[in-house]
Structure formats: C-alpha cells, structure tokens
Structure 1
Amino acid sequence: MPEESIEVTVEDLAAARDAGAEVLDVRSPEEYARGHVPGARNVPLEQVLRAPGEFPDGVRVVCQSGGRGLRAARALREAGVDAVSVSGGTAAWVESGRNTEGGAQR
C-alpha cells in the first residue's frame, strides 16, 4: 500500500471520529492525561506493537506529532488491520482549534 495512504488529516480524523471510528492514542499515559482527542483510547505504542492484531479495522492512530502514530499504523497494517495515522498528531488537532479532553482545555 502506498505510504501516502497511511496518513490522514485532522479533518479526516474529526469526520471519522464523529462517525464512530475508534481512535487510539499511542502516547504514554502521562502525555494522554495532559490532553487528548475526545473519545480517544490510550494504548501506549509498546502495547500496540506487542499485539497489533487485536485492534479493529478502521482505527485511527494518534500520538503527539505523528511519528509514533505512523509506527503503530504500520505495525497494525502488517498484522492485517486497516489503520491510518493522523498526520501531525494531537499537536495538529490542537493547532486546528479543536478541543481536547483531560489536562488543559482549549
């Protein structure tokens, strides 16, 4: 699968989340607690890498700036899970003016 198809924008994330897609935040619990995409489930990267086949198709993966999310999405895809990473991660979500849960609210 071409590399460009593995990443989506925060706008795509917002639409998918509103439609019920699962969002995995692969940051540490401490990072997650400081603020995350509303409704995102915290599953640290190490856990995703240990059992990538245990996640549902259509999952969106987010981290802080995109690197860990891309790594997780690649591992999920290698395990046969339809997954994409959010380009720019949580930082891009916040930069776009969207609210977060936990931590400092925007």
Structure 2
Amino acid sequence: MPSLSSISLPALQDGGYLQHIPSLNRGLQLALKSNVTFFMGENGSGKSTLLEGIAEKCGFNIRGGNRNHNHNTGHRFNGYQSDLAPYINLAWSPQGNRRFFYAGGEFF
C-alpha cells in the first residue's frame, strides 16, 4: 500500500480566506519522511484546513469517519468540502500504509 510522501501547494491568490492564512498562502512543500507526522500551531494557523484538504484528496469524508462512512454524493461531500483540496498535490511512495489519524476530528 502506498504512503503519502509529499504535499505541495502553490501560492494562493484565490481572493478568499485561504490567502489570509500565512502558513498556506505563499505555497507549501512538505516532504514526509516518517511514518508519523505532527502538525502543530496556534489556533487559526491552518492545521485543520490543510488536513481537511488532504483528507478530501484521499477520498475521506472530512466530517469524520473513514472511507466506509463517506456519505459521498458525487465528488464533493454533501455541501461540506475543503476549499483547499483543489489546490493540493499529493505524491505517494510505493511502500507504506495509507492511514490517517486527526486528533481534532476523526479521519482514520
């Protein structure tokens, strides 16, 4: 099973709230080299926004649960979607495990 190896995001000039998140608005390049990655920061720093975008790109319901509880009604989830997901690019390594745990919610 592949594992997430990198996350990239271009500079955001969407005119919306995303361009006002300093940790995301200038773009992002993250190489994930460990089996465990922690996102830490102040409230409002973009942690949940980033994780929800990643979750949606992976087919998870960003309201919680797992892929077996996705309540999918097409590409987006019942009117609740990540505004960041369309901009995120994910790269996968051929080895590893595609599992997520989000302490502020319930992606598994």
Tell me, yes or no, whether TM beats 0.5: no
TM-score by length of 1: 0.27
TM-score by length of 2: 0.27
Q: Which structure has the larger Rg over C-alpha atoms?
A: 2
